[in-house]
Amino acid sequence: MSSAPAGPLSGSKGPAPVLGFVGLGLAVLGTVLACIPAAFGIGVVVLLAGFVVSLIGLFRKGATKWPSIVGMILAVIGGAIGTVVLIASLVANLPGPVDPTIPTDAPSTSTQEPTDAPTSGTAEGRLSPEELGVGLAETLRAGGVTSYDDMPDFYPCAGQFIYDSELSDETLRLITSAQEPLPAEKDAAEQVLRDAIDTCDPDGEGSFG
């Protein structure tokens, strides 16, 4: 008497990768938000949520793994892209070319009183860290960047960092008045700004720190 072999259950399926797709969706949304400077903080939070949900979905037994893997990778890449976009936006918010009618190498003898004095010890001297922090805040807000308004320590920290740099007094005044720095110090000024952001907001928390 022969018995029929027990074949595989063709209709059986593993659990649907719901968590994987949720995590992937959050990663996509977080990447979009992180690429908008004003919403960078929200994007970081959403990307973190997408990564965690995708990680949980990856270890769910029997579920398809690829949505979770893609979600985790996209969350990491999205955070990196958002950071690059934020830094580029901050650097771009130093507009306004120097007025060509005011030569930077004009002779400093008689004729006119130096109001925007050169780097030597004149009456005005170097701006204080507090003035530099206030000027930086006004420059960023004018460009639509308000991510650091809820971080009370950011602008004082950035002002002190810029004050301690080797930038000339004139370049510091141009930066805090939303003008382009001296051509000879433009690259150095942009690097100082990047370093100030990295130093004073190392976790990239923005207004959500």
Residue 102 covered by a domain: no
The predicted pLDDT at position 95 comes to 63
- Which candidate, 79, 95, 92, places its Cα nearest to that of 40? 79
Which of 64, 92, 120 is the endpoint of a domain?
Answer: 92
The reply to whether 3 falls in a domain is: no
Q: pTM above the 0.75 mark?
A: no
Which among 92, 121, 141 is the end of a domain? Answer: 92
Residue 189 sits in the same domain as residue 139: yes
DSSP-derived 3-state class of residue 105:
coil
Q: Say whether pLDDT at 65 is over 80.
A: yes
Q: Is 8 a member of any domain?
A: no
Range of the domain at 139: 129-208
pLDDT, tens digit (0-9, with 9 covering 90-100), for 110-139? 455 544 444 443 346 888 889 888 888 888
- Structural domain includes residue 24: yes
Distance, in Å, from the CA atom of 90 to the CA atom of 133, rounded to the nearest integer, reads 14
| Number of domains making up the chain | 2
